[in-house]
Amino acid sequence: ILLGIIAALNHNRLLDHLAMFLAIIGISVPSFILAPLLIKYFAVEWKLLPVASWGTWAHSILPSVALATTPMAVIARFMRSSMLEVMQQNYIKTAEAKGLSPAAIVIKHGIRNAILPVITFIGPLFAVLITGTFVIEKIFAIPGLGKYFVDSIFNRDYPVILGTTVFFSTILVITLFLIDISYRLIDPRIKLTSKGD
């Protein structure tokens, strides 16, 4: 989100081009390609981080980077386009005419209105991120639910497959519910009403 804001505020400048270049790289390289590259350089050649085990916080760095790169790039591009659109609106020009500082305009009016579509987009992206853990857990030998899910498919263990599917579905539904609630916190003008109201 911060990368998208920086890119939007520096539209068509060096920071904008650099941020969007990084975002395009992040979108173009899938996690199952990025993970072996991270292992090759950071764990095998440079020996900076451990791999193929699970224990300390250092073991979670490479899997986290491999999982977060694509969603981060997508959110950055989406936030940039949303922020650029919001900064062209009449209420931004009115805030400028009133003499508000650029920081106040960006934080109070720009980000608050630009982030709503991004939050809507984060819900389905969260589902993609959860399903992406299956491959990453297999690559990094992480004893997580994704690994057990894949193993249960090979072993035809139907209760585990069903239980894991229900668990991931529940997480997705709760996430979408929290996103709906967050609309009201971000923009008080949005009211959660029922059909009877």
Give the model confidence (pLDDT) of 39-52 as tens digits.
999 999 999 998 87
* pLDDT class of 16 with cuts at 50, 70, 90: very high
* pLDDT class of 195 with cuts at 50, 70, 90: low
Residue 187 has pLDDT above 80, yes or no: no
Overall pTM surpassing 0.95 (yes/no): no
C-beta neighbour count of 182 within 10 angstroms = 16
The pLDDT of residue 8 is 94
The pLDDT of residue 83 is 95
Give the model confidence (pLDDT) of 93-146 as tens digits.
999 999 999 999 999 889 988 998 898 888 778 877 776 688 888 888 888 888
The set of long-range contacts for 35-43, using a CB threshold of 8 Å and a minimum separation of 24, is 35/62, 35/63, 35/66, 35/135, 35/136, 35/139, 35/140, 36/139, 38/62, 38/65, 38/66, 39/139, 39/140
C-beta neighbour count of 90 within 10 angstroms = 7
Indicate the length of the chain as a whole number: 197
Give the model confidence (pLDDT) of 92-108 as tens digits.
999 999 999 999 999 98
- Percentage with pLDDT > 70 across the chain: 95
Question: Do 66 and 38 meet the contact criterion of CB atoms below 8 Å apart?
Answer: yes
What number is the average pLDDT over the span 9-14? 94
- Percentage with pLDDT > 90 across the chain: 54
Fold of 2-186: MetI-like fold (1.10.3720)
CA angle at residue 33 from 122 to 146, to 5 degrees? 60
The pLDDT of residue 145 is 82
Give the model confidence (pLDDT) of 21-75 as tens digits.
999 999 999 988 999 999 999 999 999 998 877 888 899 999 999 999 999 999 9
The pLDDT of residue 193 is 58
Please give the full DSSP string across 38-69, using - where no structure is assigned. HIIIIIIIS--S--S--SSGGGGHHHHHHHHH
